[in-house]
Amino acid sequence: MLGNTLTEKAIINKWVEVEGQNFSPPATAIVLEYVNSSTSKWPLNEELIATQVEKLKKELDMYDSHLSKNRYLVAGHYSLVDLFHTALLMQIKHLRGSL
């Protein structure tokens, strides 16, 4: 999960940064808007959702490019980085459906 070699560990660290800086902010904003809207009974901020979805789609295009050549983000096996992404993607899928 954390990498077997120094190279794998470095690649995992890179993807952790990508996830934390580029993927997680828009994904978390989408999840929070859906959750807060449903629990507070206020309407969804569709503009916020649309803006965050566009940011996320740009990131997912980069991921698609990488994953078209690799089964997982790092070293041909499931790692901590894949797990980080899976949780938010599953929440979005459950709350919103497909992007």
Domain range annotation of the chain = 6-96
pLDDT surpassing 70 at residue 98: no
- The whole-number pLDDT of residue 65 equals 94
Inter-CA distances, 82 with 21, 24, 74, 95, Å: 15, 13, 8, 20
What CATH number does the domain located at 6-96 have?
A: 1.20.1050.10
pLDDT surpassing 80 at residue 94: yes
* Tens of pLDDT, residues 15-70: 989 999 999 999 999 999 999 998 998 899 999 999 999 999 999 999 999 999 98
How far from chain centre, in Å, is Cα 21?
10
- The whole-number pLDDT of residue 87 equals 87
Determine the angle formed by the axes of helices 80-96 and 6-18, rounding to 10 degrees.
30
- The whole-number pLDDT of residue 97 equals 65
